[in-house]
Amino acid sequence: MAKVIIHATITVDGFMADVDGGVDWMFGFPSAPEDQEIVDRVVQELGAVVGGANKTQTIEDGEVPYGAIVKVPVFLMTHTPHEPIEKDGVTYSFVVDDIARAVALAKQAAGEKLVSLLGGSISRQCLALGLVDEIHLDVVPLLLGDGISLFAGLGTRVPLERIETSAFASETHLRYRVVPKG
């Protein structure tokens, strides 16, 4: 059965984007082949993605998950129904107001592969519902000071078990298993 993961690049102070949603700060750091191998390993294991739809429910340049390098089904959360969109061989399905259903559909589509959750709100909702199996963080050596936090506002304690830590040129890669409640 598919595992559900949060896979994100964050700053040391826990931000996944600047206050305007920009992520240009993610680029330009020294990199080693081992850094790329870790990211590539996750990308190769992906079977589906769950994220949030934009306000216009379109798939525009620059907002395609994983920069369109992953050709897997994408399930987008929305508040209003919308027909699926097919772009570049990827089907984007819209799920109305039911994150657990979106994750279940993504797990079915992923088979034995990973389901990646994208975005802070999606990740926090899934953590609160107990739907997340692992958290994969690529931490860059930068303090933004302000921005969009991956975990702020979660509102509940989530125990984690570290299963992998590595650091190479500049990034630190952290992998945790979410310890089930109870």
Please give the model's pTM, rounded to 2 decimal places.
0.90
- Please report, to the nearest 10 degrees, the dihedral formed by the alpha carbons of residues 53, 55, 57, 58 taken in order: -100
Q: Which pLDDT tens digit goes with each residue over 37-68?
A: 998 899 899 999 998 876 555 566 556 666 56
Residue 35's contacts (CB-CB under 8 Å, 6 or more residues apart) are: 138, 168, 169, 170, 171, 173
* Cross-strand pairs, 74: 49, 92
Alpha carbons 109 and 156: distance in angstroms, whole number: 29
Kindly report the backbone phi and psi dihedral angles of residue 147, in degrees, each rounded to the nearest multiple of 5, phi listed first: 160, -160
Residue 41's contacts (CB-CB under 8 Å, 6 or more residues apart) are: none
Residues of the chain with pLDDT > 90, as a percent, come to 65
Beta strands, E only, the chain:
3-11, 15-17, 46-52, 74-78, 85-87, 90-96, 114-117, 134-140, 148-149, 160-167, 172-178
Average confidence (pLDDT) over 123-149: 96
Please report the pLDDT score of residue 157 as a whole number: 92
For residues 34 and 173, the answer to whether their CB atoms sit within 8 Å is: no
**pLDDT confidence of 25, banded at 50, 70, 90?**
very high
